Structure 1
């Protein structure tokens, strides 16, 4: 049930984004390359929380597309030689490898702009106030106090005299991964002008569980299954949830976080079952 819903929402998001990127220049081809091929988990969170609040999916698909564009921008820039210097993403050459670094920078810039365009799109949230809130909160989640801050802390950790502590890694990942999860999970409530607090609590636990599983995969996965380089954190001597907690304790911590995420949805009853399924999926995935 979850997998079919993920696939259906990913297809709807792809259709929406393809309608926005119709050119045949190198820029447009590279944008499409960067956008498609993933699971669209963040977009699914937008779509599912919109359904939870009886928001029409034809409207929700616009902010859902926006968060996927924002996430894709972050990956394109994260893969650059000046950042993580990765050659593979989702089993395909990264944008700077397939084209060049200049194209990758421009693709990231264009995708970030597209993200805000979709969050504030007039065919998206029904009211100007909701569209403004989506754009404002996306800027905060993606910027200097959110995802970009998390990336800056990650870069600083590479040359720090001492490895990060567990609390510092949690703070880093709350920005780098958790901020966009939080925006996506609260988007449905924002569109409906409803209370987003339970969904933000869900997203905070979900985001940390997601990152712990990423660390597990980085240690135990193989490049073919994962679709990108593995073992880089260990090779660089970076502190991770696995290096600090050990593999089994990290898995246990992720499982506890999933329980916390699911408990935060108690007020929605059975209507939130797919969100609970998503939380369980996050720590079972292998890529």
Structure 2
């Protein structure tokens, strides 16, 4: 235990020395993967991993806010997650209730504003209420935006955007020739994030290297990092390590390195 504490302290000190606080990514998006595998490794039920993962959300949210991140987007429940066993889905539907009931005062204290993207009308009534109450309770906060993707799928998001634009064209409100990338972005669920709608950095935990239908439109030029830690093992130092890796890259956005 003592060796582990020393290692953690050394890692923290090394991260603080390397981290450039002037180049913190404005928007970090995270695919929180590995809760079930974390639990299975410990011979625990999968829901134990989700419970621990909720604590990680709290730690990483505060760490990101303290670093000056403008938006933290977390993939909490996808449109495909309904395919999981009903017992697990039911537990996942209870997590926002438990999370917000205990964490909203800390969010307000750290000036963090809650936002949600996804079709929350399909969530249980009590889950919807917890989400809406958290949005209302943090509405006056103007610091970091904690953006949850709940019942969210990027293909669903893009399809909905195209339907809205198509209907506007049909109604004569939009000339098809004026449709451009900016218009599509304005019809995405992330439009509420304003100038920070597109993530600078996308992190996926647990070692899997895929996007899983998350913010496909928005991550066109995001830096992608796939880290080995299961989500419950991820923490503020893990976040700093990912940001240091991000800061070591050169983002060209399709141009040349020396431009």
TM more than 0.5: no
Structure in which a larger fraction of residues adopt helix: 1
TM-score (normalised: structure 2) = 0.36
Higher strand share: 2
